[in-house]
Homo-oligomer: A and B are copies of this chain.
Amino acid sequence: MTALTDREAATGVPDGFVAVQSSAGFTRHNGGFFVHQELPIVASRIAPEHLNPLRIAHGGYLAAMADSAFGVIFKRQFNLEVPPVTVSLTVDYLGAVREGEWLEAHVEILKFGRSFASASCLLKVGERLVLRASGTFTVWKGEIPRQG
C-alpha cells in the first residue's frame, strides 16, 4: 500500500500519467484515457458510463480501451501522425473491473515491420489481471482529415 500524493488525492490520477489529447469522437465521448509519460501504459478510471448490467466494466469498453491503448503507444513510440489501423484484435477476459477502479493497459510492441505491426497488452487493476489482448496493425497510408 503506497500513500497517495497530493495530486493523486485531488485528481484521482496517479503520478506520471497525463490525459491523452483526444479530438471529438468515440474516445472523448467515453471519457478519454491517460498515458504514462515514460512507460508504455494507458489508463482510465472506470465510471458509471463504462458499466454493463452486472455493474462491471462492459466487455466492449475493455476491448475499446485495449484497441486505443495500442494506438496511443504505437503513435508515440514511432512518431506517427495518426494511430495505426487495426487489422485484427483478440481479447481474452480474465476478471471483472468495478466502478472507481484505476485500470491500466500495459502495452508491449512485438513487431513494427514494413507491412504490419504486432503488439500485446495486459489490462490490470494494481496487480490483478483483468484482460489480455493482442492485435495486428498497419500504418495508415490514406489522407488524414483535418479536425475542423
**Residues of A bordering B, CB below 8 Å:** 23-27, 29-30, 48-55, 57-61, 63-65, 67-68, 82-83, 85-95, 110-111, 115-116, 118, 120, 122, 129, 132, 134, 136, 138, 140, 142, 144-145, 147
Contacts and interface: CB of A to CB of B under 8 A. Distances in A.
Contact of A89 (B27, B65, B90): B90
Contact of A58 (B25, B90, B93): B25
Main secondary structure of the interface of A (DSSP, over half): mixed
Contacts of A118: 92, 94, 132
B49 A29 contact: yes
Given A52-B26, A132-B134, A85 B94 contact: no
A46 to B, nearest CB: 10
